Amino acid sequence: MKVIPLKLEDAKIIEPVVHGDHRGFFMESYNEQIMKENGIDHAFIQDNQSLSAEAGVIRGLHYQLNPKAQTKLIRVLSGAIYDVILDIRKSSPTFGQWVGVILSEHNRRQLLVPKGFAHGFCTLVPNTQVLYKVDEYYSPKNDRGIMWNDPALGIDWPTSHAILSEKDQKHPALADANINFD
């Protein structure tokens, strides 16, 4: 497994070992021991899966408030996404900064999203399925969002016509968001 650090501290790209042969491939998509050996030690307790039928679906930017903040380990089963994480840790030197990475069924890359980050993605192709592990249960009362197109962030979403949920059309800008991460 290869771990690639990102400019936002604690966020990482993970590249599992892929065993290809004439039939296709096999990979251990998650191995707790190998993760721990690479300094990634989270007690993931819930697996999530979403399907987006069209390209241009944007889900996010979501986070759960403390004490229900989630670490997320994101991967793409089919299709491709432009995955974005935003640092919302108030004391972080990279507060308000974001990075975008492409995760796809072809690059098989995974993204580790630490607590204190808002997370979202834009699908790049139809019928994209995203799987992710979280280390805290879903908590509707702590579920929050930041507007995907906050002008202060300038996220370069790869779509000219975002397909959004009702909820994702109504989030506040970062400057107005309820954040309780130090």
Which parts of this chain interact with ligand T46 (CB under 6 A)? 48, 50, 59-60, 62, 119-121, 138, 165, 167
Amino acid at 27: M
Q: What is the spatial distance between Cα 112 and Cα 81, in angstroms, rounded to a whole number?
A: 15
Judge whether 119 counts as a catalytic residue.
no
Q: Report, in Å, the least distance between residue 81 CB and ligand T46.
A: 9
Asked if 55 and 82 count as a contact pair (C-beta separation under 8 A), the reply is no
Q: Report, in Å, the least distance between residue 55 CB and ligand T46.
A: 16
What does the block give as tokens for 35? 């993760």
Q: What is the spatial distance between Cα 174 and Cα 171, in angstroms, rounded to a whole number?
A: 9
Q: Please, which residue, 35 or 103, has the CB nearer to ligand T46?
A: 103
Q: Which of 106, 132, 161, 171 is catalytic?
A: 132
Q: Report, in Å, the least distance between residue 138 CB and ligand T46.
A: 3
Q: Please, which residue, 60 or 79, has the CB nearer to ligand T46?
A: 60
Q: Please, which residue, 165 or 178, has the CB nearer to ligand T46?
A: 165
Paired with 75 in beta bridges are 110, 131
Q: Please, which residue, 35 or 120, has the CB nearer to ligand T46?
A: 120
Q: Which of 62, 106, 161, 171 is catalytic?
A: 62
Q: What is the spatial distance between Cα 34 and Cα 83, in angstroms, rounded to a whole number?
A: 24
Amino acid at 65: L
Judge whether 137 counts as a catalytic residue.
no
Q: How many angstroms separate the Cα of 76 from the Cα of each of 61, 101, 129, 146?
A: 18, 12, 6, 23
Q: Report, in Å, the least distance between residue 18 CB and ligand T46.
A: 25
Helix (H), strand (E) at residue 68: none
Residue nearest ligand T46, CB atom distance: 138
| Active-site annotation, residues | 62, 132
